[in-house]
Amino acid sequence: MTVETAFRTRMIVCFAIIYVVWGSSYLATSVGVHHLPPFLFAGVRFIIAGAALTAIARLRGARISIGATDAKQLFVMALLSIAVSNGFNVWALQWVPSGQAALLNVTSSFWIAILGLYGARGQPIDRRTGIGLALGFLGTLAIVWPREGFSTANVAPQLGILLGCMGWAVGTIYFRNAEKSLDILAFTGLQMLGGGALLTVLGFGVGEHHQWSWSPTGLLTLAYLTVFSSGLAYTAYAWLTQHTAPARVATYGYVNPAIATLLGWWVLNEQLSGVELAGMAVILAGVVLVNWPEEVSAPESPG
């Protein structure tokens, strides 16, 4: 197998993982947060996954001792990509249907494309991308616009998801532009440990330990998210952020909602209104324009 073929194969596998696993994670999280308190549910998940990935990295000979620069990068990524992004999403899924949450998470794709303009590896936005961004904004408005008047109960969880998306996008671009000395698997594991610790402290701070139960359903969804969504998909995503353009990485944004909406309808009997379906179509059209893949070229040496 040539270097280029091996690179393309690895990229296809990584994209397939983040498409399928993260598409199903909305359903798993929606079920889990109705059996376990949200911040502890997320915190325990990332601590276990982070410990496992860090141990695997160490067994493979990677360095896990960190200096001041490593500590700064790990803190920023733990805060943005784990605590802010996942924390807001898990909290909001107590009220927002999993399919709608997935659609709102599409906004990450637009923020990634916009923020990808900046930094040492910045890439410009062309006319097609600009039109796609405008469409995505209109589609998001159609989904979040209250149907029964403005109320905190309707709007706050949706705004929480959008803030989580912003955190994820900023973290993605920061990770792409940062000069890292740690092995990518070690970095991902330590990042999860830090983010999981932040979420766990938050959970204890708001008294969630009094609500914890050993629910079989909750523990099953926790195990699925720990192994597949945290361990497998995050590692695949981290590799992709280093080996392809931000806009291309963001293509998961128009596959995940389709999978999440289908599973939400099939398993949880969730429904979308006509306006929400129209908003979904507009968002997906915008994301396709933003993220239409270009020719992939292999690196000079395997990643």
Write out the two tokens for 147: 């149907």
State the Cα angle at 275 between 100 and 20, rounded to 5°: 30
Cα distance between residue 199 and residue 167, in whole Å: 15
Cα distance between residue 147 and residue 2, in whole Å: 55
Q: Give domain status of residue 297, yes or no.
A: no
Q: Give domain status of residue 298, yes or no.
A: no
What would the pLDDT profile of 165-180 be if each residue is shown by its tens digit?
A: 999 999 988 888 888 8
Question: Among 50-54, 56-60, 105-109, 119-123, which stretch is predicted with the lowest mean pLDDT?
Answer: 119-123
pLDDT band per the 50, 70, 90 thresholds, residue 300 = very low
Write out the two tokens for 74: 């790990």
Note the pLDDT of residue 227. 94
Q: Is the pLDDT of residue 69 over 80?
A: yes
pLDDT band per the 50, 70, 90 thresholds, residue 245 = confident
Question: Among 64-78, 159-173, 194-208, 239-253, which stretch is predicted with the lowest mean pLDDT?
Answer: 239-253
What would the pLDDT profile of 178-197 be if each residue is shown by its tens digit?
A: 888 898 889 999 999 999 99
Q: Give domain status of residue 85, yes or no.
A: yes
Q: Give domain status of residue 301, yes or no.
A: no
Instruction: Give the domain range for residue 252.
Output: 3-291
Q: Give domain status of residue 244, yes or no.
A: yes
Return the sign of the alpha-carbon dihedral for residues 34, 39, 42, 45.
Answer: negative
C-alpha Rg value of the chain to the nearest Å = 19
Write out the two tokens for 289: 């324009």
Q: Give domain status of residue 296, yes or no.
A: no
Higher pLDDT, 251 or 185: 185
Note the pLDDT of residue 137. 75
Q: Give domain status of residue 221, yes or no.
A: yes
Question: Among 51-55, 124-128, 211-215, which stretch is predicted with the lowest mean pLDDT?
Answer: 124-128
What would the pLDDT profile of 87-142 be if each residue is shown by its tens digit?
A: 999 999 999 988 888 878 878 877 887 787 766 666 666 778 778 777 877 877 77
Q: Is the pLDDT of residue 220 over 90?
A: yes
Task: Compute how many other C-beta atoms are within 10 angstroms of the C-beta atom of residue 100.
Answer: 27
Higher pLDDT, 261 or 194: 194
First and final C-alpha spacing in the chain: 15
Alpha helices (H) along the chain: 3-32, 38-59, 68-77, 85-92, 98-104, 107-115, 127-144, 152-177, 184-205, 216-224, 234-243, 246-249, 256-268, 274-291
Report percent pLDDT > 70 for the chain.
87
Note the pLDDT of residue 153. 60
Q: Please name the residues in contact with 151: beta carbons below 8 A apart, sequence gap of 6 or more.
A: none
**Total count of domains within the chain:** 1
- pTM reported for the whole predicted model: 0.81
Q: Give domain status of residue 302, yes or no.
A: no
Higher pLDDT, 181 or 199: 199
Write out the two tokens for 11: 């990229």
The DSSP code for 250 is G
